[in-house]
Structure 1
Amino acid sequence: MARCVDVVGHGGVRLAAWEFTEGGDPAAEERPAVVLLHGLMGRAEHWASAARWLSRHYRVVALDQRGHGRSEKPGSWPLDRDVFVADVEAVIERLGLGRVALVGHAMGALIAWRLAARRPDLVRALVICDMRAAALGAVSQRELRGWLSSWPLPFPSRAAARRWFGEEDPSLDHPSPARGEFFAAVMAKRADGWRPVFSRRQMLAAREGFAHDAHWDELAGVSCPTLVIRGVDGVLGRAEAHEMVRVLPAGRYADIPDAGHLAHLERPHEWRAIVEPFLTETAPRRSAKR
């Protein structure tokens, strides 16, 4: 089960943090914490499957980042990467999570490693899922802007959205049911049909805050054990991933065949087989009872 906890983030923005507990276990707050951070245009709900098995051993919190999911979407607020980092910092401190393991996908991974570099006292381990450390560049921003403009909004139903993103989108090389499910989950019914719960303009602006910079120096400042995972067909290339691991003081690498950018959704069992032992290894040791 999951319950939504409102947390005040940077600048007073209301954030929706979702706590997952196995069977409503009251002892969950005593367990080491894992914080799950979705990528651009995602939402905490995308981590539900992973949260179910994680919650057997950890206190699991997944955050709807500002502008996403059920978190506040004010018309005017800072969109630079620092505010997203400050939001996660606020969630960890205000929920009393202690030193956490951060698991981030795409933009969520960048936010996670920036926080790990800035506040090593808050982060004990880090999992980076398919996020590049090199600059994405102006071309990628133009491509994203064009793709966002191509969406045939409004969709007549959630199923139509699922079908377009998973099968009919001309930018697809092949059908992707996981991609269809990803975007179907971020659609909400409006008066004229189904539209995204976020502002596409704000998503583009949020990405502008990190797309033009490289992030190698920040990565080098992460001292905790860090696992870099890539889907073999994702956006993070093998050579760059290995360079990220080399730059990280305590980095290690894993990849998932037959998976792309959404490897944790496309191949959840393979993803779990990689992440679970890493989190077990880096979890704090319990004191032996006398």
Structure 2
Amino acid sequence: MVRRIDVTGAGGVRLAAWEFTDPPKSGGEPEDGGGRPGALLLHGLMGRASHWADTARRLSATHRAVALDQRGHGRSEKPAEGPLDRTAYVDDTIAAIEQLRLAPAVLVGHAMGALTAWQVAARRPDLVAALVICDMRASALGAASQREWAEWFRSWPVPFATLADVRRWFGEDDPTLERPRPVRGEFFAEVMAERADGWRPVFSRRQMLGARETWVRDAHWEELAQVRCPALVIRGLDAELGRAEAQEMVRVLPRGEYAEIPDAGHLLPWEQPDAWHRAIEPFLRSVVAHP
């Protein structure tokens, strides 16, 4: 089951949060938390809360699992004038943890969502019990990376005539792909909406590029070192975060742990969902047992 909960983010921006639970037993109503520790799941750039459905449902056995549509994404407000900077995303996440009464929460973040998670943990350690950092680099990526993203956004053949076209382009035809990745096609199909002229992304590519600009040129090691809670850094062997950098992140984190998943890239929770859960579940159990 899933239910929507509205959250008021920084500056009054309306955010949509989604609580995932197993169906109630014997026809009863779902419990509101049930005394379980909170878990907030944060998607990456261009993602949405629904991408976390499988992870959230599995976590709901032990945690009150909530996924957040971050500003500019999914069903949350997309303020035309922003801001979509680091401060806004961090403040929104703090507001969500406090309003949903999840603290101290486990933060599970993918890519940009992982950066937000460790920035929240560094700033408000009282709100965070543990982190799962999935495929996010602490090093600066630089101006060249931003130019490549701008070119990639321009290459999208928008509008797409059908969802099948979305799946095929992002999973097979995208010139940045080294080999077909069907899961990637499914991932992007979920962030498209049908308009009068075809299928278009639910976000603004201009805004996404602007949001990325606020963190891509900077390194984030100092904030990582300020995280005091247990933190699991997890990557796929074919992911954007390399092994050497991931292990250095674990070294910098005062209570860092490391895991990697074979046959997985940037979208590892969706490419290898069972292996992903086998990696994160023992870590989360240890956090509950030894906070």
Aligned partner of 2:135 among 114, 130, 134? 130
1:13 aligned onto 2:13: yes
- Alignment check: 8 A CA contact 1:102 1:123 kept: yes
User: Per-residue deviation at 1:50?
Assistant: 0.8
1:79 aligned onto 2:84: yes
- Alignment check: 8 A CA contact 1:21 1:28 kept: no
Q: For residues 98 and 126 of structure 1, what CA distance do their matches in structure 2 show?
A: 13
Q: For residues 60 and 52 of structure 1, what CA distance do their matches in structure 2 show?
A: 7
User: Per-residue deviation at 1:22?
Assistant: 1.4
Among the aligned pairs, what percent are the same residue? 65
Structure 1 residues 228-267: aligned runs within 5 Å:
228-267=233-272
**Structure 1 residues 20, 44: closer, same or farther in 2, change over 3 A?**
same
After superposition, the C-alpha distances for 1:63-116 in whole angstroms (9 at most, x for unaligned) are: 000000000012112121111000000001011112000000000000000000
Secondary structure at the aligned position of 1:101 is classed as strand
Q: For residues 276 and 192 of structure 2, what CA distance do their matches in structure 1 show?
A: 26
Secondary structure at the aligned position of 2:149 is classed as helix
Q: For residues 202 and 154 of structure 1, what CA distance do their matches in structure 2 show?
A: 18
- Alignment check: 8 A CA contact 1:105 1:129 kept: yes
> Where does residue 27 of structure 2 map in the other structure?
none
Give the counterpart letter for 1:213 in structure 2. Answer: D
User: Per-residue deviation at 1:218?
Assistant: 0.2
User: Per-residue deviation at 1:28?
Assistant: 2.9
1:103 aligned onto 2:108: yes
Aligned length: 286
User: Per-residue deviation at 1:284?
Assistant: 5.8
> Where does residue 58 of structure 1 map in the other structure?
63
**Structure 1 residues 194, 101: closer, same or farther in 2, change over 3 A?**
same
Q: For residues 59 and 5 of structure 1, what CA distance do their matches in structure 2 show?
A: 13
User: Per-residue deviation at 1:57?
Assistant: 1.4
Structure 1 residues 34-45: aligned runs within 5 Å:
34-45=39-50
Q: For residues 212 and 226 of structure 1, what CA distance do their matches in structure 2 show?
A: 24
> Where does residue 23 of structure 1 map in the other structure?
23
User: Per-residue deviation at 1:29?
Assistant: 4.2
Q: Which runs of 4+ in 1 moved over 6 A?
A: none
> Where does residue 3 of structure 1 map in the other structure?
3
Give the counterpart letter for 1:132 in structure 2. Answer: R
Q: For residues 214 and 125 of structure 1, what CA distance do their matches in structure 2 show?
A: 22
After superposition, the C-alpha distances for 1:220-246 in whole angstroms (9 at most, x for unaligned) are: 000000000011101000110011001
1:118 aligned onto 2:110: no
Which region of structure 1 is more displaced relative to structure 2, 66-75 or 49-58? 49-58
Secondary structure at the aligned position of 1:11 is classed as helix
Q: For residues 89 and 288 of structure 2, what CA distance do their matches in structure 1 show?
A: 25
> Where does residue 159 of structure 2 map in the other structure?
154
Which segments of 5 or more consecutive residues in structure 1 lack a partner in the other structure?
none
> Where does residue 224 of structure 1 map in the other structure?
229
CA RMSD of aligned residues (A): 1.2
Q: For residues 101 and 11 of structure 1, what CA distance do their matches in structure 2 show?
A: 25
Aligned partner of 1:169 among 174, 184, 196? 174
Under a length normalisation based on structure 2, what TM-score does the superposition of the two structures give? 0.96
- Alignment check: 8 A CA contact 1:32 1:284 kept: no
> Where does residue 204 of structure 1 map in the other structure?
209
Q: For residues 145 and 250 of structure 1, what CA distance do their matches in structure 2 show?
A: 36
Q: For residues 284 and 76 of structure 1, what CA distance do their matches in structure 2 show?
A: 44
- Alignment check: 8 A CA contact 1:106 1:131 kept: yes
Give the counterpart letter for 1:38 in structure 2. Answer: H
Secondary structure at the aligned position of 2:33 is classed as helix
Secondary structure at the aligned position of 2:16 is classed as strand
Give the counterpart letter for 2:246 in structure 1. Answer: A
Under a length normalisation based on structure 1, what TM-score does the superposition of the two structures give? 0.97
